[in-house]
Amino acid sequence: MTDLWSGLAQAFWLVVTLDAELVEISARSLQVSLTALVIASLIAMPLAALLAVRRFRWRRGVIAILNALMGLPPVVVGLVVYVMLSRSGPLGVLGLLFTPAAMIIAQIIIVVPLIASIAHQSLRDLWQEYHDLLISMNVSQWQKMKTLLWDARRALLTASLAGFGRAIGEVGAIMIVGGNIDHATRVLTTAIALETGKGDFALALALGFVLIGLAIAVNLAIHWLSRTEREGRW
Amino acid sequence: MTELFPLKVRGAATARRGKMLVGPVDLDLCGQKACVVIGPNGSGKTSLLRLLHGAARLHRGTITWACPTDEARHHQSFVFQRPVMLRRSVLDNIAYPLLVHGVKKPAALDAARDWAGRVGLTEMLRRPATVLSGGEQQKLALARALVTRPKVLFLDEPCAALDGRAMREIEAILTDAKTAGTKLIMTTHDMGQARRLADEVVFLLGGLVHETGPATTFFDHPETPEARAFLNGDIVE
Amino acid sequence: MIKRLLAGVLVAGLATAAHAGDVMKMAVTTSFHNSGLAEVLLPEIKADLDLEVQLLVVGTGQALKLGRAGDVDAILVHSKAAEEAFVAEGFGTHRREIMYNDFVFIGPKDDPADLGAATTASDALQKIAGAKAVFVSRGDDSGTHKKELSLWRAAGIAEDGFGDWYKSVGAGMGAALNTASGIHGYILSDRASWLNFGNKGDLALLFAGDPVLFNQYAYLPVNPEKHGHVKAGLAEKLEGWLVSDRAKALINGYMIDGETLFVFNAE
Ligand SMILES: Nc1ncnc2c1ncn2[C@@H]1O[C@H](COP(=O)(O)OP(=O)(O)O)[C@@H](O)[C@H]1O
Ligand SMILES: [Mg+2]
């Protein structure tokens, strides 16, 4: 309990004094997770739309796999990415292991199934609604996907935010592929793991509070952005 | 100028899980005249419209337009009994079919504004389409169907849930469209509306064309006892 | 609007790769990192050599593995036998001793096994086993873990003599200390990790000083003949610095709570 209070107090001071190290790792957390989120969304959203509008042979299989992958253990993703990116692995020549790029790759793999599954559910519902109309208008496959993605954008935002939450709070995979190197690949979650390991629970908790605050702030910011956008249009 | 008519339907039928929904149907339709499909509930009116439009699979027979079917489809619009509203503004809904077919945005929006005016939706261009009333939604669906200036407009009970005033407004729009050269193929439950709009009538019963002919002849001197009974408001099986 | 935002995030995210100055990666053990010495040495290295040394903090086993795979340019560990095998297999060019620190026995203040009266490390372990007092082992194949096992062997207690009182936690030094603190167990720790540990609770240092508890750190550059991409030049530069008088002064002068932690002994 005392750890909790001193953690809160320490979090407060770290934030108000804009502690240089805190700012650095928070910025890196945001940078890594937002980059991963954008790339993952660019992959997951069109995939979800394709799965909604197109009837191909393996469609059900792909959906089932995506749903299963939603529960992918991050540690396993981390291990696989590690083995691929290691100098003695197939992609070793890229020299990406223990860099932020490796962390971004791992997070993309972790959040794509999540975003694609959630997005697919809302796009599928919308497609049921739109199906007859769009078919009768001879809309091309590509246009169908674009229409669904645009008209479901608020639901898709929710899917993205779920992905962001998973990405920024993830520690297992990025610890393995990033290596938690000070000033290079240390982010909030790996720093928390490190401080816990050192027995400094108060600092670990403080970082935890900052992480939660950051996640909430990003959520609010994106909702606020989307609201102003909606008011502008309608 | 692509010519779609005459349309020849020979032995056309569509089925669902082995059950025949409509057909086999033989029909000859020419341009200009408004064709109204009537019949009791479940007689296959909706299915026939979807079949002609190409939205239902043709299981048997042939449907032959005067031009290739793919091309014919580009000159058709369909208004559903329950209008489908895109989750966009009224203006964007009306402009949508133009935009997906490659019309530049400013031109599409101009045309959409013009059609919104013709159906009386100018006041609510920026409103989300989903919050409109039933009558407004149906007018929006009409404007969206007509903005591409189709040669054929299919309408499935466009006034089913509307009050008298909204119905008159929609009939006025349809009459204008007809004058402008659009062939109407519609279903309705309202015999008054059928009389007002129809040039020719197709009377369906149990998925088959029971009687067909010019509107005046059909309404004044129906040939079959079933058609007579239907027009009298009796139950027809 | 949204598109521009996304593009901005992407550009910012991918631009991370660009870096100024020389950068090399070195794998070090958790105990070395927990000592806090790295935070003293790294800024000086950066200032003297314009070299940014990125530390991967892992167990000795994984550190050697990283070197074998070529994922780091050098390693700094403390497990002589494993290091010599590493060099013999050709993965390291050579082994250079830098400094040593020592291991200490930690346990509950009330000291149920009476470690305070122990004369040697073997004696201390025999007392623990005799009293069947709870003992926490790193159990993670780290240098500390290997050292602990060799001490048990030297004390004549075989691994199958471990009973319920022997808890293998498979964790780093800090986490293992956390566990010991929580279950009032004995534990072998390096002095630095112990001094820097923030959650001491009712744990205390109970035995130290036997020469077998000394812990030699050695520096091993990864062999560029095995992995052409390793930065052998930078690794050599760093080695030169680590054995210099400048490093000697910094290492010997490093203290926590008034206690010296490391003794420089490079030749
Ligand atoms: N998707 C469907 N699946 C099975 N039966 C259908 C389907 N659509 C329509 N039907 C059946 O086909 C027949 C004709 O329906 P429909 O064309 O909707 O009639 P109407 O529009 O004249 O009321 C009805 O018996 C109806 O129940
Ligand atoms: Mg119907």
Q: Encoding tokens for residue C194?
A: 């112990």
Most confident of the following: A10-14, A100-104, B118-122: A100-104
Global pTM reads: 0.82
Q: Which of B229, B85, B78, B83 is nearest to B160 (CA)?
A: B83
pLDDT at C17: 46
Check CB contact under 8 Å for A132 and B76: no
Check CB contact under 8 Å for C13 and A38: yes
What's CA C143's distance to the chain center, in Å? 7
Name which residue sits closest to atom 1 of ligand 1, judged by CA: B16
SS3 B15: strand
Q: Average pLDDT of C29-57?
A: 90
User: Contacts of residue C170 in chain A, CB cutoff 8 Å?
Assistant: none
Domain ranges of chain A: 2-233
Q: Encoding tokens for residue C116?
A: 């305070």
Ligand 1 binding pocket includes B179 (Cβ within 6 Å): no
Distance B49 CA to ligand 2 centre (A): 9
DSSP for residue C108: E
CB atoms within 10 A of CB B110: 14
Q: Which of B43, B209, B47, B76 is nearest to B154 (CA)?
A: B76
Report the C-alpha gap between B58 and B16 in whole angstroms. 11
pLDDT in tens, B112-160: 999 999 988 999 999 999 999 888 999 999 999 999 999 999 999 988 8
Pocket test of ligand 1: the residue of B17, B22, B43, B47 to mutate, having most ligand atoms within 8 Å of its CB, is B47
pLDDT in tens, A60-84: 899 999 999 988 899 999 999 999 9
Contact C169, C137 (CB under 8 A): yes
pLDDT at C197: 86
pLDDT in tens, C120-150: 999 999 999 999 999 999 988 777 888 899 9
DSSP string, B83-128: PPPPSSBHHHHHHHHHHHTT--HHHHHHHHHHHHHHTT-GGGTTSB
Complex ipTM more than 0.95, yes or no: no
What's CA B210's distance to the chain center, in Å? 20
Ligand 1 binding pocket includes B104 (Cβ within 6 Å): no
Q: Encoding tokens for residue A81?
A: 């990415």
Q: Do chains C and B touch (3 or more CB pairs under 8 A)?
A: no
User: Contacts of residue B86 in chain A, CB cutoff 8 Å?
Assistant: 130, 133, 147, 151
Interface test with A, best of B87, B105, B140, B154 (most A CBs within 10 A): B87
Placement of tokens 């980059």 in the chain: A35
For domain A2-233, the question of CATH label 1.10.3720.10 is answered with yes
Residues in the 5 Å CB sphere of ion ligand 2? B 46
Ligand 1 binding pocket includes B97 (Cβ within 6 Å): no
Contact B47, B14 (CB under 8 A): yes
How many helices (H) and strands (E) are present in chain B, helices listed first?
9, 9
pLDDT at A19: 85
pLDDT at B175: 92
Strand order in the sheet with B7-16: B19-29, B7-16, B60-64
Q: Encoding tokens for residue B24?
A: 């086999």
Report the C-alpha gap between A149 and B114 in whole angstroms. 28
Pocket test of ligand 1: the residue of B37, B46, B202 to mutate, having most ligand atoms within 8 Å of its CB, is B46
Q: Which of C239, C238, C260 is nearest to C251 (CA)?
A: C260
Report the C-alpha gap between B45 and B53 in whole angstroms. 12
Ligand closest in space to the Cα of B45:
1
Ligand 1 binding pocket includes B46 (Cβ within 6 Å): yes
Name which residue sits closest to atom 27 of ligand 1, judged by CA: B42
Contact C234, C145 (CB under 8 A): no
Contact B86, B101 (CB under 8 A): no
Pocket test of ligand 1: the residue of B21, B185, B187 to mutate, having most ligand atoms within 8 Å of its CB, is B21
Domains and CATH numbers, chain C: 2-100+214-264 (3.40.190.10), 103-213 (3.40.190.10)
Query: Which helix (DSSP H) or strand (DSSP E) does residue B192 occupy?
Result: helix B191-197
How many helices (H) and strands (E) are present in chain A, helices listed first?
10, 0
Check CB contact under 8 Å for C13 and A180: no
Q: Which of B194, B117, B207 is nearest to B158 (CA)?
A: B194
Domains and CATH numbers, chain B: 7-231 (3.40.50.300)
Closest in C6, C16, C70 to A87, CB measured: C70
Whole-angstrom CA distances from B126 to B93, B96, C95 are 10, 14, 75
Q: Encoding tokens for residue C161?
A: 């003599």
User: Contacts of residue A141 in chain B, CB cutoff 8 Å?
Assistant: none
How many helices (H) and strands (E) are present in chain C, helices listed first?
11, 12
Ligand 1 binding pocket includes B222 (Cβ within 6 Å): no
pLDDT at A230: 55
